[in-house]
Structure 1
Amino acid sequence: MGLFFSYLAWALGISLANSRSWCVWEFNSNIVSIVYIGLWEAFYCQKCSISGAIVEWPMYGRINGSWVISDEIWYGQGLRLLANSLNSVVLILGSVALVVRWIHAPYPDFLRLCYNISAFFLICSCSCTAITVSWNFAVDFYGQTTLDFPLSFPIGKEMLIRKRFSYVFPLGITTATLLLISAAMFSCGTFSIKQRSKVKPVTVRKHPPIKGVNEGPPVCNGCQ
C-alpha cells in the first residue's frame, strides 16, 4: 500500500509541477482578461479584431529572465524538482523491495535500508510540497507578490483587479498528505521486518528410535 500511495503522489506531483494555475489573475483589459501563471509557463487568451470580428488566440509564454520572478516562484521551481526527484527514487527503491519480498529472498537488512530511505525521502518530499503550495497561496492572497510581466507582455500588472482561487493549493495539500501516509506505511514495514527477525526458528532434536517392548535380545543359532 505504501508503494501504491507513492505512485499516486508522484502522479499528482507531476500534475502539480506542470500546472499553469499557480496564480490566476483577472485584469481590467479588453485584450487579455485572465492570465494563468505556472511555475515555468504562463497561458492567456489574447483578443484581436479580424475583419471586424473579435477572435481569441491562445498564447503561451515561458517564465524566463525577462520576467520579474518572485521568490515563491523561484524557490518553488527548485522545491518541486527536488520533491519529484525524491519521489522517483522512492518508487525505484519500493519496487525493488517489493520484488525482493515477492521472491522471499532472505535479505531483511536490505529491505530495512530500502524502507528507511524511502520513508525519509517521502517526508522530505512532503515538506517540499507543503512549503511550496502554502508559500505561494499565502503570498498570492495575503501578501504582496513581486511577480511581474516582461515589458513585451500585452498588459501590465497595474491592471490587475482580482485573484482567483485555483485547485493548486488543495491538490498540493492532498499530495503532501499522500506522501506522509506513504512514509508512515514504509516505517511500519521497517518495524514489521524487525519483529520478524527477532523470532528465531525452533531447533528440533532427533532422538534415537525406541526399541519395541516385545523385542528381545538377539538369539544365537549355535546356542540352540
Structure 2
Amino acid sequence: MLPEDDHNHQYKNVVSPENYNSDLLGDVLVIHLLRDPLSLFNISCYLEDIYDLGVFQMDHLTIDKRRFDNFKQSVFKLSGLFSSISALVFEIAIASNQYWRLWKFDDKVVQFVSFGLWEAYYPQEFNVSGTLIKTLVHTPIDSTWKLSPEFQYARILLIWAILMKPVVLIFSAMAFKISCMKNPFVEMQIYCYKVSALFLCVSSLFSFVSVSWNHAVDFYGQTTIDFPPDFPVKKEALRSKHFTAVFPAGVLTATMSLFGVIMFLSEIRSLNLQRQLKAKCAYKILSRKTPTQGGKVHSEKHRK
C-alpha cells in the first residue's frame, strides 16, 4: 500500500497536463479501490478532475485550430497583394532590361548589339597605350532612330502597366485593413477588390501584349528599326537574331498578375456569400419579431 501523501502526490502528477498518462491513471484508481472500496466519493472527484483535464486540453486544441485557421485566411487574403508586388518587381526589371532584342552582325568592329527600350548596347574594343580593352558601349535610342510601332507601343504599354500597380496595391491593402476590423464594411471591401482586380487585369494584358508583340515581330515579322548614320554598324550586316529572356519573363509576370486577379475575384465571391447570409439571417430575425409585435398591438387594442 502507498502512503496517503505519496499516493495523492502521484495522482496529482498523473492528472497534471504535463504528465498525463491514461494507463498510469487507471492503476492509481485500482489502488484506491483496493485500499478503500467505499471511497466512491474520492473516485468521483478524481473523475471530475479527469473531465476538467480533457476540457482543458480540448480548449487548447480549439484555440490552436482557430489561430491556424486565421493564419490561413490571412495568407489567402494577402495572396493577391503579394502577387501584385511580385508582378511590379518583374515589370520594373523587364523595363530596365537591355536584352529586348539581341542581334548578331557580320562585322569586325561590332559583332553583337542588344536593344533595350531606351538604349542600345554593343561591346567594342579600344586600343589604349598598345593594350586592347573591351568595353560595353551604350547609346540612347532617340529621335535619330527609326523605330518600329511594336517597339514604341512596348514602351507605352509597359509604363502604363507599372503605373497601374500602385493603384492595385493601395486598394488591396485597404480591403485587407477593412477585413481586420471588428465590424468590417463588406460593401467597401468588395469595391476595393473590384478596383484591384480591374487594374491588375488590364496591367497584365499590357505586359503580355508588349513582350509578345515585340517577340513576334522580331522573329517572325519584318522589323523596321533603322540605325542612325553615326552608328558603328550597318543594318545590312545583320546575320542572325537571338532569343532573350524578356518574353518568358513577361509571360511569367502576366501569369502572376492573373493569379492575383483570381484571388481578388474569389474574395469578392466569398464576401458576396457572407453578405447574402447576413441578409437572410436579418430577414429571419425580422420575420420572427413582426408577428410578436403584431400580437402585442392586437392585444393592447383588445384591452382598450
Q: How does 1:186-197 map onto structure 2 within 5 Å?
A: 186-197=264-275
The counterpart of 2:255, out of the listed 169, 177, 186, is 177
Counterpart CA distance in 2 for 1:90 and 1:28 is 47
**Structure 1 position 151 matched with structure 2 position 229:** yes
TM-score after normalising by structure 2? 0.64
TM-score after normalising by structure 1? 0.86
* Higher strand fraction (1 or 2): 1
Tell me the CA shift for residue 181 of structure 1: 1.0
- One-letter code aligned to 2:220: Y
Counterpart CA distance in 2 for 1:94 and 1:42 is 38
- Which residue does the alignment assign to 1:41? 119
**Can you give the 5+ residue segments of structure 2 that lack an aligned partner in the other structure?**
1-78, 289-304
Counterpart CA distance in 1 for 2:182 and 2:150 is 47
- Which residue does the alignment assign to 1:91? 169
Tell me the CA shift for residue 50 of structure 1: 2.8
CA RMSD of aligned residues (A): 1.8
- One-letter code aligned to 1:93: F
- One-letter code aligned to 1:157: K
Aligned length: 206
- The superposition leaves residues 148-172 of structure 1 with CA deviations (integer Å, 9 ceiling, x where unpaired) of 2211211111111111100000000
- One-letter code aligned to 1:124: V
* Higher helix fraction (1 or 2): 2
Which region of structure 1 is more displaced relative to structure 2, 19-28 or 94-103?
Answer: 94-103
Q: Determine helix, strand or coil for the equivalent of 1:65.
A: coil
- Which residue does the alignment assign to 2:190? 112
Counterpart CA distance in 2 for 1:139 and 1:167 is 16
The counterpart of 1:124, out of the listed 194, 202, 206, is 202
Change (3 A) 1:3 1:104: farther
Counterpart CA distance in 1 for 2:110 and 2:182 is 61
- Which residue does the alignment assign to 2:101? 23
- Which residue does the alignment assign to 1:101? 179
- The superposition leaves residues 62-90 of structure 1 with CA deviations (integer Å, 9 ceiling, x where unpaired) of 11101111111101100001111112210
- The superposition leaves residues 107-140 of structure 1 with CA deviations (integer Å, 9 ceiling, x where unpaired) of 1111111111111111111111111111111110
Aligned structure 1 segments of 4 or more residues deviating by more than 3 angstroms = 201-205
Q: Determine helix, strand or coil for the equivalent of 1:199.
A: helix
Change (3 A) 1:53 1:119: same
Counterpart CA distance in 1 for 2:166 and 2:182 is 25
Counterpart CA distance in 2 for 1:105 and 1:138 is 51
Report the structure number with the largest CA radius of gyration: 2
- Which residue does the alignment assign to 1:68? 146
- One-letter code aligned to 2:224: T
Counterpart CA distance in 2 for 1:134 and 1:69 is 17
Tell me the CA shift for residue 59 of structure 1: 1.2
Tell me the CA shift for residue 105 of structure 1: 4.6
- Which residue does the alignment assign to 1:142? 220
Q: Determine helix, strand or coil for the equivalent of 2:123.
A: strand
- Cα contact 1:119–1:182 (8 A) shared by 2: yes
Q: Determine helix, strand or coil for the equivalent of 2:111.
A: strand
- Which residue does the alignment assign to 2:30? none
- Cα contact 1:9–1:179 (8 A) shared by 2: yes
